[in-house]
Amino acid sequence: MALNLRAMIKLLRPHQWLKNGFVFVGLMFGHAWHDAATVQAVVVAALGFCLISSAIYIVNDLADREADRLHPHKRLRPLAAGSVSPSQGVVLSVLCALAGLLLAWSASLQVLLIVAGYGVLNLLYSWRLKHMVILDVFVIATGFMLRILAGTVGVGIPPSSWLLLTGLMVTLFLGFSKRRAELVVMEHSDAPARKVLQNYSRPMLEVMIGVCATGVVLAYSLYTISDDVVAVHHTTNLIYTVPLVLYGLFRYLYLSFSSDAGEDPAHDLLRDPHLLLTVLGWAALTFWLLA
């Protein structure tokens, strides 16, 4: 029973909950951390996203378990390995989805709609959209943008246009990096790959990754020196966080091009101390400057 419980926890992919840190972006840049009710709503919204995303991961693993058994890494997933039965997976997915929607509803009606929209979008992605070249990555990016909107519009914080643009560039960068990593695995393995990868090539993805990385740097740099941003935050010093953003991007590119990183950004963040310290350092410095 204990072994099965560990497998079911693994099935939830709790390390992927790091992605829901995007929900807290508005709380920091909107100077809303002094409002206890808003902080509570954002935390509840993030928990809702954690549970609904776990429900979607289980659905995907149920659908892909036969193919995953032939993949060098995915074969260790609980459903593919047989440590969790399909019926247990279905029950756990339903419970996570219901709990996630209830938490979202307790945050606000807007958060409920956003979280529900995220769930529907991901089901459509699993069914059809993941097979559509380029659009598949934009759907992944949309999922991250919905997280940002849940932590801003969903709790009454007006989102900055620069913040949304930077978020879009970051998420597209991660999405195309993920596709490149999957393509590398496909080239070095006999495992069946995503059909959409047949429409990608390394040179194409590397161009797209470069464009998005440039967009991240430009959008974030312009954000830090924008007159409106300086007026809102009462500081011109956000520009000093740009080197950390540059280092983080370059470190991630280094890991992606020199190893098998990129397929799972959350795992890459946790296993690389340079990247983890850079992200934590950026968050700490940014909060200190804003506060």
CATH number at residue 33: 1.10.357.140
3 state SS for the chain: CHHHHHHHHHHCCHHHHHHHHHHHHHHHHCCCCCCHHHHHHHHHHHHHHHHHHHHHHHHHHHHHHHHHCCCCCHHHCHHHHCCCCHHHHHHHHHHHHHHHHHHHHHHCHHHHHHHHHHHHHHHHHHHCHHHCCCHHHHHHHHHHHHHHHHCCHHHCCCCCHHHHHHHHHHHHHHHHHHHHHHHHHHHCCCCCCCHHHHHCCHHHHHHHHHHHHHHHHHHHHHHHHCHHHHHHHCCCHHHHHHHHHHHHHHHHHHHHHHCCCCCCHHHHHHHCHHHHHHHHHHHHHHHHHHC
What are the phi and psi torsion angles at 191 (to 5°)? Answer: -70, 145
Model confidence over 211-253: pLDDT tens digits? 999 999 999 999 999 888 888 888 899 999 999 999 999 999 9
Do 169 and 155 lie in one domain? The reply is no
With cut-offs at 50, 70 and 90, classify the pLDDT of residue 80.
confident
Q: What is the pLDDT averaged over residues 94-111?
A: 95
Span 25-73, pLDDT tens digits: 988 888 888 889 999 999 999 999 999 999 999 998 888 777 767 766 7
Q: Which of 124, 159, 194 is at the close of a domain?
A: 159
Write down the pLDDT at residue 169. Answer: 95
Lowest mean pLDDT among 51-60, 80-89, 149-158, 175-184: 80-89
Residue 262: predicted pLDDT: 66
Instruction: Check whether residue 92 and residue 208 sit in a common domain.
Output: no
Pick 270 or 110 by higher pLDDT: 110
pLDDT at residue 191, rounded to an integer: 61
Mean pLDDT of the residues in the chain = 89
> Lowest-pLDDT range, 67-71, 90-94, 141-145, 242-246?
67-71
The whole-number pLDDT of residue 251 equals: 94
N-terminal to C-terminal alpha carbon distance within the chain: 47
Do residues 148 and 159 touch, judged by C-beta distance below 8 A? yes
Residue that is last in its domain, among 104, 133, 159: 159
pTM for the model stands at 0.87
State whether 177 and 68 are in the same domain.
Answer: no
Q: How confident is the model at residue 261 (pLDDT cuts 50, 70, 90)?
A: low
Q: Both tokens of residue 38?
A: 């808003």
Q: How many domains, the chain?
A: 2
Angle at 37 between CA 31 and CA 42, to 5 degrees: 70
pLDDT at 266: 80
Query: Do 76 and 155 belong together in one domain?
Result: yes
**Are residues 137 and 13 part of one domain?**
yes
User: Would you state the pLDDT for residue 192?
Assistant: 59
Same-domain check for residues 107 and 25: yes
Q: Are 151 and 22 in contact (CB under 8 A)?
A: yes
The boundaries of the domain holding residue 181 are: 162-291
**Residue with token string 């440590």:** 83
Q: What is the mean pLDDT of residues 139-167?
A: 91
Q: Is 209 found in the same domain as 73?
A: no
- pLDDT(93) > 70: yes
Nearest to 30 by CA among 123, 185, 166, 151: 151
The pLDDT, as a whole number, for residue 65 is: 79
Both tokens assigned to 207: 């161009």
Same domain, 214 and 137: no
Same domain assignment for residues 181 and 256 = yes
- Mean pLDDT over 140-144 rounds to 93
Average pLDDT for 282-291: 92
Location of structure tokens 């204990």: 2
